[in-house]
Homo-oligomer: A and B are copies of this chain.
Amino acid sequence: MKVETFFTPDSAKDDALRGRTVAVIDILRATTTMVTAMANGCREILPQASMDQAVQLKGRLGRSGVLLGGERGGKKIPGFDLGNSPLEYTPEVVKGKSIIFTTTNGTRALVRTKVGVSGCVVSLLNVTAAANLMARAGRNAAVLCAGREGRFSQEDSVCAGLLIQRMAQALAPEPLNLDDASRAAVLLAEKHGAELVNMLKNTDHGWYLTAIGFTADLEYCGQLDKYQVVPEYKDGRVA
């Protein structure tokens, strides 16, 4: 099985995703929040690339049971029901609900996977479950890191490496065929995998989240294998 990793959404051309099992990773915080919402019983998540699209969709759906969630600059969007902190997405709030969701990096990476390409929503919270699912799928894999504003992010790359390590374990003795970026991701996971919360606190995005008051989110996002759920993004919907 071949695994290719993309540290930024733009570096993944359409051809590199087609026919692959795709993992989408944005652990600070979009994919962590989506995994949490699904684990806590939300009905579906409808990722939107822009605020405009999110608000228009809310207008069209117009019914109760639909929440608007997301961030810009890490902060809750005015008028939205929820921000992008996974700690807000409790069972009491999200059970049975549809959530229209827009974030700076993660939902764009997800929407980047386009119609016809489905993606697994991966965070540290479900990385082993996701690795087992992707190993069982048997197809070549693409690991798509959201990064940060079009640039490499350490935390997503570490999660990519942990995912690949676990895929290798699940498939052993069959060896994985890794590209340059996948091997770099594994090296980052070897370096930081044993101290994930500390790693998150010492990244460009982690420092920013600390500065705007989300230290508790970093503790939450750094938890390994809290959940078994692996939400799937397909045809514009995470479920």
Across the interface, do A187 and B191 meet the contact criterion of CB distance under 8 Å? yes
Q: Does A219 have its Cβ within 8 Å of any Cβ on chain B?
A: no
Across the interface, do B152 and A184 meet the contact criterion of CB distance under 8 Å? yes
Give the contacting residue for A184; candidates B5, B154, B180; CB below 8 A.
B154
Across the interface, do A184 and B184 meet the contact criterion of CB distance under 8 Å? yes
Q: Does A225 have its Cβ within 8 Å of any Cβ on chain B?
A: no
**Which 7 A-B pairs have CB atoms at the shortest separation, nearest pair first?**
A154-B180, A152-B181, A180-B204, A11-B151, A10-B10, A11-B150, A8-B11
A selection of 10 A-B contacts at a CB cut-off of 8 Å is: A7-B152, A10-B11, A11-B150, A152-B180, A152-B181, A154-B184, A157-B184, A180-B203, A187-B187, A187-B191
Q: Beyond A8-B11, A10-B10, A187-B191, list 16 extra A-B contacts (CB 8 Å).
A: A6-B151, A7-B152, A10-B150, A11-B151, A11-B152, A151-B180, A152-B180, A152-B181, A152-B184, A154-B180, A154-B183, A179-B204, A180-B203, A184-B184, A187-B187, A187-B188
